[in-house]
Amino acid sequence: MSDLRKRQVTLDEVAERASVSRSVASRVLNNAPHVSKAKREAVQRAVTDLGYVPNASARALATQQVGAVVLAISSDNPLVFADPFFAEIVVGISSVLEETELELVLMMATSARGQTRLERLLRTRQTDGLMLMSMHDDDPLAQFAEQSGVPVVFGGRPVAFEPRYYVDADNRGGARLATEHLVATGRTRIATITGRMDESAGLARYKGYQEALAVAGLDTSRVVHADFSEDGGTRAMHELLATYPDLDAVFVASDQMAAGALRVLTDAGKTVPGEVALVGFNDVATARHTNPPLTTVSQPIQSLGREMARMLLALIAGDAPTPLILPTRLVRRAST
């Protein structure tokens, strides 16, 4: 102790004594929010034990918090924030952040300009944290964000690697539930309209469909890939009917696509569920208002947003939360 008091004790020494990161020690000394009680007490004990005296100029720099977190969507669809799924994600995130002093900033990060802007924001620490969604398998943003040093939470998991911190739904299990339900209703010629195969949700839902049919000993070849949009579902359903006119059921990887598929089936004179049963995924409002209402896989969308925000706050506070996979369930309505 006497040796330490002969010179200026550093913040790094305080952090080491308290078994926390330097940033957490700094936040405690500057009375910043989002630090757990245990870590705050550990830092305060270390300050007392070591006789730490904050440097006034360093303290002034440390208090320059941005006061904002970013939700970045890597999508080439300019209307993505109008999608009911993402709208509910934002509602969930906002419900958590409204209890803090942090503002939510929405960003599109698909174009070169958008990616450059987000990279600059991370490099210059112009945000207190980042939530990333809709990562494609070749998206350079995912690994850049992971290595930036800024607290980052992924909504869903990139195809190319498993991030440290993420919140996801059980997409694969939900797709199995949907397809098993179609099998249980006696359908044997079951097709699927997938989401994008370079996104983890699209890939996982496709695998769940394949697994359920393989277990049932049924053909898995009735497949058309689409993009999660209503127009994509419309185009895919036209292709399915042209290629597999005898199909008797379709698992569609999103409710938006299922709404487009349902319209095509109706226009083609196919009765739903009489001739063709239909199951969607997400359980957004769209599923309840089609005619007939859609059987679908419900995932807790607002909970996804809430848990992403809570995880990000924990990271900002210097904690190391556990990644989460939230459960899905089948909601039966009149389309099956």
- The domain boundary, picked from 62, 88, 114, lies at 62
Range of the domain at 217: 171-298
Tens of pLDDT, residue by residue over 136-164, are 776 777 878 888 888 999 999 888 888 89
**pLDDT value of residue 11:** 79
**pLDDT value of residue 122:** 86
Model confidence at 319, in pLDDT bands (50, 70, 90)? confident
CATH code for position 136: 3.40.50.2300
Confirm whether 250 is domain-assigned: yes
For 39-42, the CB contacts below 8 A with 24+ separation are: 39/317, 39/318, 39/319, 42/18
Q: What are 192's two structure tokens?
A: 């699927």
**pLDDT value of residue 170:** 97
Task: With beta carbons less than 8 A apart as the criterion, state whether 331 and 296 touch.
Answer: yes
Confirm whether 286 is domain-assigned: yes
Cβ neighbours for 303, distance < 8 A, ≥ 6 positions apart: 92, 326
**pLDDT value of residue 113:** 78
Residue 331, strand partner residues:
296
Number of independent structural domains in the chain: 3
Residue type for position 239: E
Rounded-to-integer distance, Cα 324 and Cα 158, Å: 14
**pLDDT value of residue 310:** 95
Residue 131 and residue 203 in one domain: no
Task: With beta carbons less than 8 A apart as the criterion, state whether 14 and 308 touch.
Answer: no
Confirm whether 21 is domain-assigned: yes
Residue 105 and residue 18 in one domain: no
Residue 15 and residue 160 in one domain: no
Residue 163 and residue 263 in one domain: no
Model confidence at 57, in pLDDT bands (50, 70, 90)? very low
Tens of pLDDT, residue by residue over 108-119, are 877 677 778 888
Q: Quick one: DSSP state of residue 294?
A: P
Residue 75 and residue 162 in one domain: yes
Residue 218 and residue 258 in one domain: yes
Confirm whether 332 is domain-assigned: no
